[in-house]
């Protein structure tokens, strides 16, 4: 994919984003993997770090923005907006996939405290998950997801990126529908 991107848009537009986002992705994956069967390394006061898991797609976005001759501030703002959106989506994905993640040794941010309370050896049950995902935790998740979407929305609007904003709003609507259905 990187080779195709470079051939299509030129290495002057692709080399920096490819290296940058490969490093970000490798760092976040290593950060997460080294904490397997341990408490989550992610923190509620920096949920946007979860957005780094989407770093491979960021190289495409940034390359396209460079090819379109966007200025550095606009690129920086738009990439932050994508990261906020990706972090919000990751939180919701982790909420929906909590049992599987725990079974695979990953205590995600939404399940913070699970291993501390139940350990690593006990059977993972819906009842235990529900204990962690109490009303207070669900309220926190809902609030943070909305805050991340709001931050992204503000940056997309700041730069009049209404097509991107439309896709963002569709994702926001889908997430809200999913959360409300739970």
Query: Tens digit of pLDDT for each residue in 55-70?
Result: 999 999 999 999 999 9
pLDDT of residue 176: 84
Residues 107/38, Cβ–Cβ less than 8 Å: yes
Q: Using CA atoms, how far apart are residues 22 and 33, in angstroms rounded to an integer?
A: 16
Residues 65/55, Cβ–Cβ less than 8 Å: no
pLDDT of residue 182: 65
Domain that residue 166 falls in = 2-181
pLDDT of residue 175: 87
pLDDT of residue 6: 78
Q: Is the pTM of this model over 0.85?
A: yes
The full DSSP string for 68-122 is: TT--HHHHHHHHHHHHHHHHHHHHHHHHHTHHHHHHTTB--GGGTTHHHHHTTTS
pLDDT of residue 148: 97
SS3 for 138-179 is: HHHHHHHHHHHHHHHHHHHHHCCCHHHHHHHHHHHHHHHHHH
Low-confidence ranges of the chain (pLDDT < 70): 182
How many domains does the structure of the chain reveal?
A: 1
Q: Using CA atoms, how far apart are residues 10 and 143, in angstroms rounded to an integer?
A: 41
Q: Using CA atoms, how far apart are residues 44 and 93, in angstroms rounded to an integer?
A: 16
pLDDT of residue 64: 92
- The CATH number of the domain holding residue 49 is 1.10.600.10
pLDDT of residue 8: 80
* Residues facing 106 on adjacent strands: 38
Which pairs with CB-CB distance under 8 Å and at least 24 residues apart come from 73-76?
74/159
């Amino acid at each position: 994919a990187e080779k195709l991107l470079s051939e299509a848009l030129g290495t002057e537009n692709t080399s920096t984003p490819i290296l940058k986002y490969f490093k970000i992705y490798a760092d976040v994956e290593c950060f997460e993997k080294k904490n397997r069967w341990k408490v989550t390394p992610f923190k509620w006061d920096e949920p946007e770090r979860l957005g780094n898991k989407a770093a491979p797609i960021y190289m495409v976005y940034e390359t396209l923005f460079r090819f379109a001759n966007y200025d550095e501030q606009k690129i920086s703002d738009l990439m932050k907006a994508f990261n906020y959106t990706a972090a919000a989506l990751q939180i919701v994905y982790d909420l929906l996939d909590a049992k599987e993640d725990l079974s695979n040794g990953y205590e995600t941010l939404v399940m913070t405290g699970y291993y501390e309370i139940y350990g690593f050896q006990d059977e993972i049950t819906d009842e235990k998950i529900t204990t962690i995902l109490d009303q207070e935790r669900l309220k926190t998740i809902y609030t943070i997801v909305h805050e991340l979407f709001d931050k992204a929305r503000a940056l997309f609007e700041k730069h009049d990126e209404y097509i991107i904003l439309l896709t963002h709003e569709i994702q926001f609507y889908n997430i809200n529908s999913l959360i409300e259905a739970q």
